[in-house]
Amino acid sequence: MALSTQSTTGHGQAAAPRRTDRGVIGAAAIVVFGTAGYFVFPDNLALLTHIISTMLLVLAIDLVTGYCGVATLGHAALFGAGAYGAGIAAAHFGITEPLTMTLVGVICGSIAGLISGIVVLRAHGLAQLVLSIAVIHLFQEAANKASAWTGGSDGLSGIMPDAVFGRFEFDLFGQTAYVYGVALLLVTFVLLRILVRSPFGMLARGVKEDPVRLAAMGASVQSVMIRMYIISGAVAGLGGALSAISTQVVGLDSLSFTLSAETLVMLVLGGTGSLYGAMVGTVVFMFFEDTVSAANPFHWLTIVGALLIAVVLFAPKGLYGTAAAFFERRSRAGKGRDGA
């Protein structure tokens, strides 16, 4: 196909244009898989939309964990803030236009990102992990307390989004929600792709590699990280808003430690520090969870556990990271032969 010729023409050139090609491939892959999903699983669109909203959260975690080296078990706070933001806007303020709801979710997610960033970035390692856990518990407890606004543990219902552009209704079959989700994912991917390769993205990577040196070079480590947290919040909030719009309900689980931990596992499974890793990890984990738990709900936890152990033992860089490294080695070996 056209895609493969593009990647081969890039072969052997300088690194930068090759990477651009990979970005194009990524965007194309989203379109291809998105379209394929629509036609191959036409009855499963609700699940696929659920996967996309989770994927956005995993991408958000990747921004701070993979690119900045922050260890967090509380990132669902950002996702939940977006979901509740969009949900409350619709249920209490009558803002039912989907694009506006999405925007509200993004803003709420960024604010939550700012708040949790301020707290979480005060420590490193284990202490940071514990701070993030404290943050997610505080968020969840606050939502539980504010039950007049959030519906508490009964969940926030009564979210009735309008049709997109006044034409496409969110209906039982979930086509609109799915297409909307794929579009959001595509836009996010392109923007994030630009972001991580921008000078700012490089700075963030530098922060991860050697914060002391960066500080010595005059960059403000703290400000880079906080800005990344806000961006991450926007992405997670987008995922939350998509979840609120597509399922028309928001529950306390969207602000839970469990969701935070599960999504972190998805990221590590796919491979940190790469947008593809985040997406691959989410799809594999959720697809696995769905099939195994439908086949045998009583034992799926054991099987998922075994999968995680196997990944650490045999694919330590995550599924995508290991595969990428494998092909890198192959192509380098091939190049070596060409030169000889």
Partner 1 sequence: MKRFVLAVAVAALAAGVAHADTIKVGVVGPFSGPFALQGKNFKAGIDAFFALNGKKVGDHDIEVVYRDVPTANPAQSKSLAQELIVREKVQYLAGFYFTPDAMAATPLLQQGNVPMVVMNAATSAIVTSSPYVVRTSFTTWQTASPIAKVAKDAGVAKAITLVSDYGPGVDAETAFKTAFEKEGGSVVESIRMPLSTNDFAPMMQRVKDSGAQALFVFLPSGPPTLAFVKAYNENGLKAAGIKFLATGDLTQESDLPALGEAGLGLTTTFHYAVSHDSPENKAFVAAAEKAIGNPAELSFPAVGAFDGMYVISKMIEATNGKQDAKNAVEAVKGLSWTSPRGPVSIDPDSRHITQNIYLREVAKDAGGKYYNKEIQTFEKQGDPGLAALKK
Partner 2 sequence: MQTVLSIAVDALAYGMVLFIISIGLSVTMGLMRVINLAHGAFAMIGGYFASYAARDLGLGYGVGVLAAIVGTVIIAIPVERFLYRRIYGQPELTQVLMTIGITFCVIGIANFAFGPTLKTIPLPQMLQGSVDLGFRTIATHRLFSIVCGLVVAGALWFLIERTAFGTRLRATVDNAAMAASLGVRTQVVYAVSFAVAIGLAALGGVLGAELLPVEPYYALRYMVTFLVVVSVGGAGSIPGALIACLLLGAIDTTGRYFAPEYGEFFFYLAVIVIVTLFPRGLAGRFR
Between residues 20 and 302, which has the closer beta carbon with respect to partner 2? 302
Burial 130-148 (b: 16+ CB within 10 A, else e): ebbbebbebbbeebeeeee
Determine the Cα angle at 196 with ends 191 and 200, to 5°.
110
Q: Could you give the string, one character per residue 181-210, with x where binding to partner 2 holds by CB under 8 A and - elsewhere?
A: ------------------------------
Q: What are phi and psi for residue 57, nearest 5 degrees?
A: -65, -40
Q: Out of 251, 277, 281, 321, point to the residue binding partner 1 (CB under 8 A).
A: 251
> Under 8 Å CB-to-CB from 332, ≥6 apart: which residues?
none
Q: Contact at 8 Å (CB) between 72 and 91?
A: no
Q: Out of 58, 71, 112, 319, point to the residue binding partner 2 (CB under 8 A).
A: 71
Give 250's strand partners.
Answer: 156
Q: From the CB of 179, what's the least distance to partner 1, in Å? A: 9
CA dist 64 and 278 (Å) reads 12
Q: Which stretch binds partner 2 (CB under 8 A): 11-19, 197-205, 243-251, 308-316?
A: 308-316
Q: From the CB of 207, what's the least distance to partner 1, in Å? A: 34
Between residues 194 and 312, which has the closer beta carbon with respect to partner 2? 312
Question: Residue 305: which region, alpha, beta or left (left: phi > 0; alpha: psi -120 to 50)?
Answer: alpha
The tokens describing 99, both together, are: 């694009």
DSSP-H helix ranges across 271-317: 275-295, 300-314
Q: Which stretch binds partner 1 (CB under 8 A): 39-47, 58-66, 217-225, 331-339?
A: 39-47
Q: Contact at 8 Å (CB) between 71 and 87?
A: no
The binder of 313, among partner 1, partner 2, none, by C-beta within 5 to 8 A per type, is partner 2
Q: Out of 152, 183, 206, 265, point to the residue binding partner 1 (CB under 8 A).
A: 152
Q: Out of 86, 89, 135, 245, point to the residue binding partner 2 (CB under 8 A).
A: 135
The span from the first CA to the last CA of the chain, in angstroms, equals 30
Q: Could you give the string, one character per residue 81-120, with x where binding to partner 2 holds by CB under 8 A and - elsewhere?
A: --------------------------------------x-
165 near partner 1, rule: CB under 8 A:
no
Question: How many CA atoms lie within 13 Å of 199's alpha carbon, on the beta-carbon side?
Answer: 1
> Under 8 Å CB-to-CB from 169, ≥6 apart: which residues?
163, 176
Q: From the CB of 184, what's the least distance to partner 2, in Å? A: 27
Q: How many helices (H) and strands (E) does the chain have?
A: 15, 0
Q: Contact at 8 Å (CB) between 238 and 184?
A: yes
Nearest to 90 by CA among 82, 99, 81, 101: 101
259 near partner 2, rule: CB under 8 A:
no
Between residues 151 and 321, which has the closer beta carbon with respect to partner 1? 151
Q: Which stretch binds partner 2 (CB under 8 A): 41-49, 155-163, 206-214, 302-310?
A: 302-310
Q: Out of 28, 46, 138, 219, point to the residue binding partner 1 (CB under 8 A).
A: 46
260 near partner 1, rule: CB under 8 A:
no
CA dist 181 and 104 (Å) reads 16
Q: Out of 14, 16, 126, 172, point to the residue binding partner 2 (CB under 8 A).
A: 126
Residue ranges that bind partner 1, judged by CB under 8 A: 42-44, 46-47, 49-50, 141, 144, 147, 151-155, 157, 171-175, 243, 247-254, 258, 293-294, 297-298, 300-301
